[in-house]
A and B are shown apart, each in its own frame.
Chain A
Amino acid sequence: MYIGERVEGRNNRLVVAGAGTYVDDVRPEGCLVLAILRSPHPHARIRRIDVTAAEGRDDVELVLTGESLLAAGIAIPPSGSYANFTPRMTVKHPLAVGKVRYVGEPVAAVVAHDLVGARAALDALMVDYEVLPSVGNALLALEPGAPRVEDEWPDNVMVEYPFEKGDPAAVLGATEPSRIRRGTLVCNRIASTPLEGRGLVADYDPHRRYLTCWASTQSPHILRTLLAGALDLPDSSIRVIQPNVGGAFGGKIPMFPEDIVTAHAAIVLKRPVKWIEQRHEYLPAGGHSRDVRCDYEVAFAADGRITALTTELIADIGAQSTFLGWLMAIVSAGCIPGSYKVDDVRVRLRCVVSNRGPWQAYRGYGKEVSAFFLERILDEVADAVGRPRDEVRERNFLTPDVFPYEQPSGWITDSGDYSGTLAKVKDLIGWEGFAARKAAARAGGRRLGIGIGHELTPEGSSRPDSLLSGTDSATVKMSPHGDVTVLTGVTSPGTGNETGIAQIVADCLGASLDRVRVVQGDTELCPHGNGNYSSRSLTFGGSSAHLAALVVHDKIRRVGASMLDVAPGEVRLDGHRVIAPSGAEVGFGAVAATIYRSPHARHMEGVEPGLEVTRTFKMDNVHHQPEKDGRYNQYPTWSFSTAACIVEVDEETGVVRIEKFALVHDSGMVVNPLLAEAQLHGAITQGIGASLYEEIRYDDAGLPQNLTLREYTLPGMRESVDIVLGHQSTPSPFTMMGMKGVGESGISAPAPAIASAIEDALSDLGVRLTEVPFTPARVWAAIQEAR
């Protein structure tokens, strides 16, 4: 058995050796370079773009503007429908038409012989802007009479999504004031910041009318379909190849304006064209996440049990271009109250457009926002009733017997044992006995604090009426020599899911793992799939591969049994062999040879020739027909984790050092613990980054304040923390083998755990942290305020 084994990731050595091929390494003969002119203004009307000087340069092949794309018929109409709300939509333009709405918005593109020429051509473009009044954040955008980001809309609200369960107003009205807390919490804006930026190389063959794109993308098939729609080409005229990807984290879910512009340029010029994003382009314009404010009201009993909760969420989704990142806010709302049983709850979300940059998916996908809000509220309730913070969580957790559990949002949580991960993480961190350590440290002039944070991580998102609906096919095929190739529609951004898929297929077939190769990321090779997002590569892609492998297994078994002259039911498949009860065996190579070389001979009687099978797994607990069964659920699996940490706070500077960080995760049955842990290490480190270091800031006019990584202080090795991991397995009753997704687990819990620990370190001062990240300046200010 390979499932459950700590098999080394197949890509590890390639990546460490620097031997990967990334999109910038793709260099077709005669490749031209595309560069983008971006808006320097948060909000401005484009009066005129003078392209004469740029076009006049010898080394410039093409200049594109919003108007020229429009003339070519390129504009993206709104599409997709949503279950519980109706967003205001706009036609999207890859290059700005009429006006710009954020700093970094693509305005024009030039294609030149090399980057030097392209940059010079950008300098030669003359844009006449009429600067407009701007709204630098959602609160300004909500003010009466605020400038409108979208001229056709009556205001700046794109989505309004309210839902309610029970009667929270009545409960709040009947609760005595000492058992009610009100407040505001803020999750500030961050960016996923992969090592490798975005990029695309497009090559058009006019004779075959065939466009080949190499893209640093998460989803080749989705990009192909979206590009075909944007460029009015048949899907079958486009091939998208995903080379190695240097980090994605959701930030490379297609499609981007630059993808369309680059592909269009290649078609117009009939030559290969390359666009590679620069870091200073990424930071303002590559897509951000979070930036949500929560005004809450919570009522509770004397023992800390929450009796009612209302939350007003305002998501500053920036200026939406072709991005779909704003849907993260829906997930933030839908995950309230998440792991906690609150029978009277109201959630109202408003997604507000502003002259900030647009959102783009990032690991956590909104769940980290609800986790931060909920955990901060739980801590406040615990303090209000004077009970330990862990005890108050126990008091409010959903218990294992309630599942499947319908959340107030309607989503259905599959399974969980939240007290279990809490108990385990308390052991790992040394919860009992910490008070004595804290007191001793304090006597020595040091401030230590301990905190916990819980997260709920629904995964496997399958959105109705979208290309991300949960269709991930896999092909398993065996060659005449008995070698196995798995072609899968899910892709890897470098995380190693190909290794997990190989383990699943090898176990199902009884094959040797080293004879199973997994191929991903090519629309002409691989069957259709949604690529990589929402931690679903194994729950969907692995399950489809398993289904396909079962069919291959059956054929090998039947033919092998015939070759051994026993009944099919008597043999077992193991070690790449078919083995009879007598111990007689025949290798897969010999069986495969028989199937390919002698399809009309004795052993193949009644057996369909060939050894290539494609299957698509369907998730049983995704529900998209509320009109039929009253149910709507887009998340089949709900992983969860509890984190605990010990921090030391320098009360003079506000600097927080994490002394110890522990996390116990539960993602059901784990296929490869080594890779699951690698995922958790990465997610936790990103979670710590978003808690202490990273923040995308704008001024009130919408001018970005992080233009380089000098200002967007991404944690590096010096800031990395030793992480202690624990496991628990509460299998999903709905998935194959009880698997749940793990790719996002661990990114949400750090912020509330660290906040809780900082407050504990400063408990005698009564410091409250309501805004993440807890930068030294913010912690220092909170200390000054408490004094």
Chain B
Amino acid sequence: MSPLTAEAVFVAPRTLPEVYTALEALGPAATLLSGGMSLMPMLNRGIGPRDAIVSLGRVDGLAEVTLRGGRLSIGATATHTAIARHPLVARSAGVLATAAGGIGDLQVRNRGTIGGAVAHGNAGADYLTVLSALEATVVIGGSAGERRAALGDFVLGLRSTDLRHGEVVTAVEVDGSAPDAAAFLRYHRVQGAAPTITAAAVIRDDRTVLAIGGATPTPTVVRVSSVEQALAAVDAACAANPLGDAHNPPDYRRAMAAVHTRRVLEEAAA
């Protein structure tokens, strides 16, 4: 069923400049639609503006995965399934493919996109956590040109990002050389449910970056010097910015953040 009102505007441009033009013409009420796996259920429940939808689904070339100049670039509309199966992702950032392959269920993975997930900025989202550990850069396009932001700077809070009106997340970039070791853990209740905790660790040379999602409004990212130091840092972050709901309250998420800190570091080091 369609969530749209009878008077709703739906546009599906073929190029990014046309997307920017449409966003400008429709004003702040415009809603960007990518795979729709988070957006459509919200619109169905009457959450958020739904009078003007701009779809990215038909923009040519926006789903491309490339390796150029030592950077792996993943186009915004690449689906989770495509990312999970892409040989370039497997070679350069296998942990990202692992994370993509565990999202939701097959139907969601076939439609959901990485750009959509990053722009949605939900706490605990698989991509936010793994991309944080991979120290990813978000590529943001707009009529004024392109800008880049570190993921940690882009995601401001729970479902809140630095995406400004008229802008579109066009790609995500990570280091194109495979890390020495990496691990990703997803702790969720049932198949298809959002994760309670996601954890990623990426080891490159002597540097270990840990990211824990789901216990704080945005991923907690730690440059790891020891397991104890990582545990303390994660715990301090959970205490400072707790996150939780009736089903998984903050104290439980905080404890699980610690458990998964240890487990993901062990797995990455194994």
**A positions within 8 Å CB-CB of B:** 59, 115-117, 119-120, 123, 278, 280, 652-654, 693, 695, 697, 699, 705, 707-711, 713-719, 775-777, 780-781
Contacts and interface: CB of A to CB of B under 8 A. Distances in A.
B255 interface: yes
B249 A719 contact: no
Contacts of A708: 41, 45
A717 B262 CA distance: 29
Contacts, number: 69
B193 A653 contact: no
A695 B190 CA distance: 13
A59 B5 CA distance: 12
B192 A653 contact: no
B79 to A, nearest CB: 20
20 contacts: A115-B1, A116-B5, A120-B5, A123-B46, A278-B44, A652-B259, A653-B256, A653-B259, A693-B190, A699-B246, A705-B245, A705-B247, A708-B41, A709-B192, A713-B189, A713-B247, A716-B190, A719-B190, A719-B191, A777-B248
Interface hub of A654, A708, A710 (most chain B Cβ within 10 A): A710
Contacts of A710: 193-194
Contacts of B2: 115-116
A120 B193 contact: no
B181 to A, nearest CB: 23
A707 B187 CA distance: 21
A775 B249 CA distance: 12
B3 interface: yes
A781 B44 CA distance: 36
Interface residues of B, number: 28
Contact of B190 (A59, A116, A715, A780): A715
B205 interface: no
Contact of A781 (B193, B194, B252): B252
A291 to B, nearest CB: 15
Contacts of A693: 189-190
B51 to A, nearest CB: 10
Contacts of A280: 44-45
A716 B247 contact: no
A59 B191 contact: no
A543 to B, nearest CB: 40
A715 B188 CA distance: 12
Given A653-B187, A716-B192, A719-B191, A117 B247 contact: no
Nearest to B1: A115
B6 A116 contact: yes
B67 interface: no
Contacts of B192: 709, 716
A771 to B, nearest CB: 14
B190 A718 contact: yes
Contacts of B206: none
A711 B255 CA distance: 20
Interface hub of A278, A709, A776 (most chain B Cβ within 10 A): A776
A716 B105 CA distance: 11
Contacts of B256: 653
B4 interface: yes
Nearest to A694: B190
Given A116-B2, A654-B252, A707-B45, 16 more contacts: A115-B1, A116-B4, A116-B5, A119-B3, A280-B44, A653-B259, A693-B189, A697-B247, A705-B246, A708-B41, A709-B193, A711-B247, A713-B190, A716-B105, A776-B189, A780-B252
A713 B255 CA distance: 21
A697 B4 CA distance: 30
Interface in B228-270: 245-249, 252, 255-256, 259
B20 to A, nearest CB: 28
B3 to A, nearest CB: 7
A709 B192 CA distance: 9
Contacts of A717: 191
A687 to B, nearest CB: 15
Interface hub of B7, B46, B190, B249 (most chain A Cβ within 10 A): B190
Given A713-B189, A716-B192, A697 B246 contact: yes
Contacts of B189: 693, 713, 775-776
B103 to A, nearest CB: 13
Which 10 A-B residue pairings sit nearest by Cβ, starting from the closest?
A718-B191, A713-B189, A705-B246, A777-B252, A716-B191, A120-B5, A713-B190, A697-B246, A652-B259, A713-B193
A187 B6 CA distance: 45
A777 B44 CA distance: 30
